[in-house]
Structures are given as structure tokens and as C-alpha cells.
Amino acid sequence: MQLMTINSVLLWLVLLVNLFLTLAIIRRLNLNSGEPIEMLQVGQLAPDFVAETLTGEQVTLANYRGHALVLVFVSPTCGYCRQYIPELEAMNHKVERSDIQIILVSDSEITQTQTYAEELSITLPIISAPRSVSTFLADYKIGGVPFYVMIDSDQRVLSSGVLNDPRWRELSNKWRKEDLSTKTIATF
């Protein structure tokens, strides 16, 4: 009987600690939710970056000079990212006929990114820029994933945000419904 009482007390203590931690997280999220999310400014030059392709080749922003880009920042541990991959793959078939490139940017090490690409049968170009060794995500002001940054052929930022914001939905709807040209992205 005494063991049952001790177990009950310990269980209640664990539940109380869990409740306090949950409330602290909610409070912190509520405090931060009123602050605007810092993003790259429309019209500014996109920051240079160094990343690695799945084949181990190093790439920088200069490798994409003259092409409009949509950088989609993902993580192999992000469930929402996995949901968007089929949509991005489907859009890429239209986008690839134009001078616009969709490039996935993984925040994980190359081996984890390769496994992710194989699991999801990703055909989009993927570059790896782990937060632990690269400033790419910090320079592009990526706080979380999935996130996108659109860059025109002059390497200026056209738009950025999360993949469920109204600007992204508007652009992806245009891509699904019409033939693309670089004007589609440039006028966005």
C-alpha cells in the first residue's frame, strides 16, 4: 500500500512539472507571436551562400546567376516539409520549362539529406547547408521550415515567407494553372 502511495505522489509530481513546462512554452510562444518575423527585404541582393550538392559539389549563389530561383528550405525531420514535396515536384514539371529553378535547401548534414531524398524519391535539386557548419540559413533569415525565398535572375529578393502564406499560395496557384515564363515570377 505504501508503494502505491509513493507511485501516485511521484506520478502527480511528474504531471505537475509537465504542466508547468507546457505553460512556460505557451507563454514564450505568446510573447514571441506579437513580434514580426524578420525576413529578407524585397529588392535587396540575395546574400551569397556556400552549400553542397548531394554529389558533394560545392555551390554558391554565383552558380545560379542569370536564373530566377525559388529556394525552399526544408528539414528531413520536418513533417510539414514532407507534405509539400509532392506539390513542389508536380510544379517543377511546369517550372523547369522556364528559366526558374526550384531548389530544396536542407538544414541537415549531407548523409541525412541523401537519405531524405531517397525516402521521398525527390527529383528536385537539393543542396545541403547544415546549421552547425553553415551560415546560409541565418543569412537568409530562416527561423523555421518549410520556408521559401524567391530570387530573380539579377539575384534580388522577390518574396519570402512560409509555404502556407498567401503569397506562396498565389504563386503556386499561378504555376499550376498557366504556362510559365520568367515574367510570371518577375511580376509577382
- The pLDDT profile of the chain, 188 residues, written as one tens digit per residue, is 888 888 888 888 877 777 667 766 665 555 444 555 688 999 999 999 999 999 999 999 999 999 899 999 999 999 989 999 998 998 887 787 777 899 999 999 999 999 999 999 999 999 999 999 999 999 999 988 999 999 999 999 999 999 888 888 888 888 777 655 545 554 44
Report yes or no: 54 and 117 within 8 Å, Cβ to Cβ: yes
pLDDT of residue 44: 96
- The C-alpha cell of 8 is what? 501516485
CATH of region 50-186:
3.40.30.10
Reported pTM: 0.76
